[in-house]
Structure 1
């Protein structure tokens, strides 16, 4: 995809997200993006149609066979399928029904349990129940006004001694950024510590389309409830 096309798509998504935010609907725009794409992945700016490179690299030295894994905001399913290929028992959800329908069509013989679900309204039975959680660019896609609620929702899903992987843009100040996406600050990430998390590694990476954006994969372990 050329840079001009990508920039137009990004602007469309930003305008759509802000339009919904004015209606106090922080997530409805995701379904609009997927349904408007009409199963053309090139119309979704974040759809790479392959697992995230950071996840692939992290898994080179890890054994996740039979681990109970969760993918938050699974999009078109590439990360979820990669985790399943590595032997994990994967549940993957997205708030957009069109996204989940698309996943099931792409991977019609998949072992992944694909579900439509709202991160902020998950069933209590999900709490403290996963060995591995992969969250790629979901926190940054939701405004800072609900960030504490979003982080709490993610943090309470992991078992003690479990691993959380967060892929996100980062910002250096606590000032409210323009968005979407809204890069995540260290102050916001420190909220994970309230739920017994310890940061294990932080691996920076670059977007070849925009080398100026600060991004990282952050690995956490939950030491306690």
Structure 2
């Protein structure tokens, strides 16, 4: 009978134990797989938590952004990953995504379409479904609030124009920037995207609230209506 006791982390060399390594050498000393191993706590009878974590990462092309798109059911396909461990991994990566979004908000001032992309990409760039967001700005182009307006399926989302400007008036915003993601990865605006942009622009003009831009965001790039003279 095969001895599986060596696969337990507690039987490893002290330097190979991720929790002890975390405490003695600091979090930056750990690899991605070691950090994931700390989350899941244990592996299976055939492999250690670190080896299991390496296998999961390999299935995501060793890319944390790709891993972050995996859901609980996908993670549970790996032997040794039950529902609780899968939820733990998804929750940890979601916290990382939200932290990135908050870091973007610290920028506060919008200076270009690139700065809009840097703000919105951590929030919507990697989502498997479409979401529509509004950035509300004061007269110095500083961000007052970034708000999700709607969430839809992969084929599209519905936007309530009245709600956009109700929020703007309540915040005292003088300008807004529109943003939504294309889960397909395409940067080409649809006719619906163009129509909605013009609808919001016209509605804003009557309230002296400018629509400065509309960004289509994907994981790695963006399309700016303002840069392409479509506003």
TM-score normalized by the length of structure 1:
0.33
Q: Taking CA–CA contacts closer than 8 Å with sequence separation of 6 or more, which of the two structures ends up with the larger relative contact order? A: 1
Structure (1 or 2) with the greater strand fraction? 1
Structure (1 or 2) with the greater helix fraction? 2
In our comparison, the structure showing a higher alpha carbon Rg is 2
TM-score normalized by the length of structure 2:
0.33
